[in-house]
Amino acid sequence: MSTTTLTPTPTGAGTSAPSAKLHDEGRIGLRNNLRHIGALVRRNLLQIKKDPESMFDALLMPVIFTLLFVYVFGGSVGGSMGGGRQEYLNYLIPGLMAMMGMNIAMAVGSGVNDDFRKGVMDRFRTMPIARSSVLIAKIVVELGRMMVATLILLAMGFALGMELQESVLGLIGAIALSAAFGAAIMWIFILLGLTMKTAQAVQGMGMLVLMPLQFGSSIFAPTQTMPGWLQTFTDYNPLSNLADAARALMMGGPLAHSVWVTLGWTVVITAVMAPLAVAKFRKKS
Amino acid sequence: MVCMTRNDKNLIRGGTNAVEVRGLVKHYGTTKALDGVDLDVREGTVLGVLGPNGAGKTTLVRCLSTLIQPDAGHAVVAGYDVVKQPRQLRRTIGLTGQYASVDEKLSGWENLYMIGRLLDLPRKKARARADELLERFSLTDAAKKAAMDYSGGMRRRLDLAASMIGSPAVLYLDEPTTGLDPRTRNEVWDEVQRMVAEGATVLLTTQYMEEAEQLASELTVIDRGRIIARGGVDELKAKVGGRTLQIRPSDPAELAAMAQAVREAGLDGVAGAQAVPDEGLLHVPILSDEQLTAVIGLLGTRGFSLAHVATALPSLDEVFLAITGDKATVTDTNPQEVAA
């Protein structure tokens, strides 16, 4: 006998919950769930307030990208499009809008990863809240950051002389579509953030995936002059479709195909990645 | 075999177990972090789980707080099964770990308010509760400071406050004072003792015999995922020899004579005395304050002059040696035990 024992107690005697308690009691109602998400959104906003530098990417990226591309490539790409810098500006801004979501989304991944290496995630996971609410709050805040970036981008565009060819409704549609697709991509990055060891690795991996997707697309330049194999890639690239859809919504042109393809990607990515991310979050120890 | 008696506190509170663990197993690859753990914590008592680093203490706490799933066995906390009813269980527990589980960027107040809201308190109540707990844990002055700017002890207290917001029925304290200086450690102990006085059930893991003695009424000793001894704190102490009285004579040359005097006096329960010339100390194992008084009194009446007197609790190593050293079966089933 290797251990000395207390008076043996029959297993579970007197302490087992009545079976009626079994499942429903633990469910978290929608109202409570929304309140939890609200409290967690507040947490993320407070973090930004205390660390304003974390907003630099959302604030500066649209400015830098717009200036860089309009003034470096604007003349030559716009020229080959049969216009000039002005023409390119109208082409570029909707494309950048599509891209902005991706770069913001990357921050979610490293944010989740960072959170996990701190004790606070243990606290959340031992509390009676839906585990998805922690992730959803993150996405809500990142969508807010994305909106800020989008507004700055549009302000930049208008300041440099961009002219909307379609109604404001079209513009709103373009923003909404970019946000929906951005939210879908965030699930991928959350999954990466939960899977990879360090925030830096998430960042590195994100760049590796995003670079070809962003540049092998119609975001920065029309695809007509690209070689055939690359055109095939860009045709299927969801970022091309999103850029084309935003462009059509803001500047006119064929709309239906690109919008449907983008919505399709959004739904499929979310339907696959969100459950995977939540499951991974649940199992992570 | 240690004979069990329940102490009075437990008798008064009755025998309902707040925590029941049976045959809990958790593997990490080929390592058995938990290798069939059984334990009970009676309502309103503190069970100390004593063990060295890597013994499986944290794994046990993580299983019991639904952070990880056990591979086998089962556990019931406050009537809820950890595997089948994790959501209900999370309403009844609080966890304070070795690493502060608060948001470091948020202030103490913001942390407590957020947790209150996550526990479904209305805004007003969440505010009041945050104020109340900051006050209680002497953190009111630091309420607006970011948690990352707190000292180690303040952070641990904030962590305890965070665990108390929902008034949990069962509180897990996973090495609550590891890495704290002695003064801060005492602050944390005071808080834990207050919580217990108010009726909380606590499962405490620790590496320190002293901490277990301060806080726990019963002890379970764990090593390599297995329980190697359990019993009341006093029984276990008696078994491992209680404290050691360390006496430094004014004249080191008198060490041998002092040891002989104590041995020959045949004081009740004082088994032996050993001179340790290297340290200039006389070591006398004692079990009670009365024995301490008797030894010092004896040396006084014999005319020895004493420069310094102290008592030391057995270290975890000594506890392990005492437990495993005279239990052949343990070393049989786990040959590395002896080396540990």
Same domain, B186 and B277: no
Q: How confident is the model at residue A100 (pLDDT cuts 50, 70, 90)?
A: confident
Q: What are the tens digits of pLDDT across the range B3-55?
A: 444 343 334 445 688 999 999 999 988 888 999 999 999 998 999 998 888 88
Question: Would you call A22 and B231 a contact, using CB atoms and an 8 Å cutoff?
Answer: no
Same domain, B259 and B234: no
Of A3, A36, A127, the CB nearest to B228: A3
The percentage of chain A sitting over the pLDDT mark of 90, rounded to a whole number, equals: 38
Q: What's the rounded mean pLDDT across residues B311-324?
A: 71
CA distance B143 to B107: 6
Determine the pLDDT at residue A202.
84
Question: Would you call B119 and A17 a contact, using CB atoms and an 8 Å cutoff?
Answer: no
CA distance A53 to A50: 9
Domain count, chain B: 2
Question: Would you call B20 and A47 a contact, using CB atoms and an 8 Å cutoff?
Answer: no
Judge whether B165 and B129 are in contact, CB under 8 Å: yes
Q: Is residue B331 one of the residues assigned to a domain? A: no
Q: How confident is the model at residue A154 (pLDDT cuts 50, 70, 90)?
A: very high
Same domain, B61 and B190: yes
Same domain, B306 and B161: no
Q: Which residues of A touch B78 (CB under 8 A)?
A: 15
Judge whether residue B239 has pLDDT over 80: no
Q: What's the rounded mean pLDDT across residues A73-88?
A: 85
Q: Is residue B228 one of the residues assigned to a domain? A: yes
66-105 of A, contacting B, C-beta below 8 A: none
DSSP B34-47: EEEEEEEEETT-EE
CATH of the domain at B307: 3.30.70.100
Q: How confident is the model at residue B334 (pLDDT cuts 50, 70, 90)?
A: very low
Q: From residue A53, how far is each of A48, A60, A110, B210 by CA, in Å?
A: 8, 11, 15, 46
Same domain, B197 and B307: no
Of B65, B81, B88, the CB nearest to A25: B88
Contacts with A182 (C-beta within 8 Å, 6 or more apart), sequence order: A100, A101, A102, A104, A105, A142, A143, A146
Burial status of residue B199 (CB atoms within 10 A of its CB: 0-12, 13-18, 19 or more): exposed
Judge whether B19 and B203 are in contact, CB under 8 Å: yes
Q: Is residue B135 one of the residues assigned to a domain? A: yes
Determine the pLDDT at residue A104.
83
Q: What are the tens digits of pLDDT across the range B60-107?
A: 999 999 988 999 999 999 999 999 998 889 989 999 887 768 898 999
**Helical H runs in chain A?**
30-50, 56-72, 74-80, 85-116, 120-125, 131-160, 168-195, 199-215, 228-236, 238-251, 256-283
Q: Is residue B330 one of the residues assigned to a domain? A: no
Q: What are the tens digits of pLDDT across the range B208-224?
A: 888 888 889 888 999 88
Backbone angles phi, psi at A276, to 5 degrees: -65, -45
Q: Where are the beta strands (DSSP E) in B130-169?
A: none
Question: Would you call A285 and B67 a contact, using CB atoms and an 8 Å cutoff?
Answer: yes
Q: What are the tens digits of pLDDT across the range B153-196?
A: 888 889 999 998 988 989 999 998 888 888 888 888 888 888 88
CATH of the domain at B75: 3.40.50.300
CA distance A79 to A88: 8
Determine the pLDDT at residue A165.
85
Q: Is residue B121 one of the residues assigned to a domain? A: yes
For chain A, which residues make up each domain, given as ranges? 30-283
Please give the structure tokens belonging to residue A134: 């922690």
Using N-to-C axis directions, what is the helix angle for A168-195 and A85-116, rounded to 10°?
Answer: 30
Q: What's the rounded mean pLDDT across residues A217-228?
A: 88
Q: How confident is the model at residue A197 (pLDDT cuts 50, 70, 90)?
A: confident
How high does pLDDT run on average in chain B?
83
Same domain, B73 and B212: yes
Same domain, B209 and B259: no
Determine the pLDDT at residue A285.
61
> Using CA of residue A44, residue A45, residue A46, residue A50, what is the dihedral sign?
positive
Q: What are the tens digits of pLDDT across the range A120-136?
A: 888 998 999 988 898 89
Judge whether residue B207 has pLDDT over 50: yes
Query: At which of B222, B238, B254 does a domain end?
Result: B238
Same domain, B149 and B260: no
Range of the domain at B19: 8-238
Contacts with B129 (C-beta within 8 Å, 6 or more apart), sequence order: B112, B116, B121, B165
CA distance A148 to B248: 72
Determine the pLDDT at residue B8.
38
Determine the pLDDT at residue A27.
72
* Residue with the larger pLDDT of the pair B313 and B286: B286
Of B79, B218, B228, the CB nearest to A16: B79
Same domain, B48 and B182: yes
Same domain, B282 and B234: no
Same domain, B232 and B249: no
Same domain, B294 and B229: no
Q: Is residue B177 one of the residues assigned to a domain? A: yes
How high does pLDDT run on average in chain A?
84
Judge whether residue A260 has pLDDT over 60: yes
Query: B305 vs chain A: nearest CA distance in angstroms?
Result: 44
Judge whether residue B117 has pLDDT over 70: yes
Q: Is residue B44 one of the residues assigned to a domain? A: yes
* Residue with the larger pLDDT of the pair B152 and B122: B122
Q: Is residue B323 one of the residues assigned to a domain? A: no
